[in-house]
Amino acid sequence: MAKAQPSDFDWNKLGFGYHDLPYRYRAYYKDGQWSQGGLEEDSSMAVNEAAQAFHYGQEVFEGLKAYRREDGGVNVFRPDMNAKRINTSADRLKMPHIPEEMFVDAVKQVVKANQDFVPPYGTGATLYLRPFYFGTTPMVGVHPADEYTFEIFATQLVPTTQVG
């Protein structure tokens, strides 16, 4: 699948769907700590068939948006609150917390790297961010994973009230 380019889009008719934008953020949890993490271009992941997420549903996600301002700048609405919510969800599944600073920094990195895909002001469209993480430890047994992958990818959408 070819990576999307800004010229590929009619900003007024995006709808809600997945577009393979150039950059996403990934970090890995192993041996009780999160890796440094960083931007990656490959949207594919190699995950073991016995990964905890597949068989026991150990996965959480959030969603937030980046908006183009009239002056051309970009705003993201309260990513710190999304960090708190994803960790609240993680508590219920016995998953390790993502440090709030890491989460917010990852959001900023993804928005900045994909800023050409933040729709123009006035279109009603946004850059949608999907932070998620999941248990990757290969196992058959009901207990929390020891390893996790955290990712934030970006795609565009128009508000659901405009999707036909």
State the pLDDT at residue 18: 77
State the pLDDT at residue 44: 95
Predicted confidence band at 143 (pLDDT cuts at 50, 70, 90)? confident
| DSSP secondary structure letters along 45-62 | ----TTBHHHHH--EEE-
Which DSSP state fits 11?
T
Looking at domain 19-39+50-157, which of 1.10.3720.10, 3.30.470.10, 3.40.190.10, 3.90.70.10 is its CATH number?
3.30.470.10
State the pLDDT at residue 157: 72
Could you tell me the pTM of the whole model?
A: 0.88
In angstroms, rounded to a whole number, what is the distance separating the alpha carbons of residues 20 and 35? 24
Which residue type occupies 43? S
- Is 162 a residue whose pLDDT tops 70? no
Residue where the block lists tokens 């995950």: 47
Which DSSP state fits 84?
H
